Structure 1
Amino acid sequence: MPDLQRLHPDHAPALLAFERENRAFFAASVPDRGDDYFTHFAARHAALLAEQATGACHFHLLVAEDGEVLGRFNLMDAADGAAELGFRLAEKATGRGLATATVRELFTLCTSAYALTTLRAAATLTNTASQAVLKRTGFVPTGEKVLRSGKPGLAYVRQLTGQAPAGRAL
């Protein structure tokens, strides 16, 4: 069973492998990170850890039993009880409900560890898989149109207090 883990320094090699192996898959639905991301990965990883240490962001990896990274689940710009959710799942891990289950698991961390009550998210119009995950986990479209690296998308919001959709407890 995959484990949701907070990002730490030892994740760097497996995370880089995840990003390299899935680069073309991700680029089909979200803007490509560019060659510079991979060239300067070590510095980028260190910067993420430093940012996480401030409490402004909370970065998580979905890690298989063998240590392989299956996904990234990030809470960014945390302030005043709200943060923005971003996630990506390895191509070979899609279609099994892992993203949906992990986002739901993240809700518990949001309320218990990070004192978050509201999550925002956005997905490009072409990223129907992420839109489906957001809807299945109780996010609702705000009606706001956004640009994600120049691509049109939709904004979503999810309140983490009260009752979850379909009678599921949070």
Structure 2
Amino acid sequence: MTIISRLRADHAEALLAFERENRAYFAASIPDRGDLYFAEFAERHRVLLAEQDAGLHHLHLVEDGDGGVLGRINLVEVRDGSAELGYRMAEKAAGRGLATRAVRQICLLAVREYGLTALRAETTLDNAGSRAVLARAGFEPVEDVMFGDRPGHRYALDLSGGVPSAR
């Protein structure tokens, strides 16, 4: 059983372990966070929680039911009824539909709990898994973007009429 939980202070240790365990896996498809991220993790976690409390972000963990972190799924830069969706799943959880279920669940939370009417997301063209997750959740590509030297797409999802899978 998986659970999506709002990020809390007591998640810090498990979240840091998740990031360390999956660092190389994530770096294969997205830019690496760098050593400073890990060295300053505790302070960054504190700042993110303060920003969440201020309503700037809605940050979540995907947990395995035993306190282990399988992924992160976040709505950041919340403003004017919209937010940027970002997510990353552990290598051990890849290919099981977990990212798709988590994105669909966060879309429901975006509407029902956070009152959002639009989401955006970005991914590189070579990240077929992420592109598929976004498509299954109803996101549409709206423009081309670059991630350094890697081409990608920006996506959008209109939630003003509800969540696509719930329509």
Does the alignment reach a TM-score above 0.5? yes
Q: 1:51 is matched with which residue?
A: 51
Q: 1:28 is matched with which residue?
A: 28
4+ residue runs of structure 1 moved beyond 2 angstroms? 147-152, 161-165
TM-score by length of 1: 0.93
- In the TM superposition, 1:5-84 aligns within 5 A as 5-84=5-84
Matched to 2:166, the amino acid is A
Give 1:147 deviation, angstroms: 2.8
**Identity value in percent:** 57
Q: 1:169 is matched with which residue?
A: 166
Stretches of structure 1 lacking an aligned partner (at least 5 in a row): none
TM-score by length of 2: 0.95
Provide the rounded CA distance (Å) in 2 between the counterparts of 1:28 and 1:18: 16
Provide the rounded CA distance (Å) in 1 between the counterparts of 2:21 and 2:61: 15
Q: 1:138 is matched with which residue?
A: 138
CA contact (8 A) 2:58 2:75 kept: yes
Which moves more between the two structures, 67-76 or 156-165? 156-165
1:155 aligns with 2:160: no
Provide the rounded CA distance (Å) in 1 between the counterparts of 2:37 and 2:137: 30
CA contact (8 A) 2:108 2:163 kept: no
CA RMSD of aligned residues (A): 1.4
Which moves more between the two structures, 6-15 or 146-155? 146-155
Give 1:161 deviation, angstroms: 3.0
CA distance 1:163–1:48, change in 2 (3 Å) = closer
Stretches of structure 2 lacking an aligned partner (at least 5 in a row): none
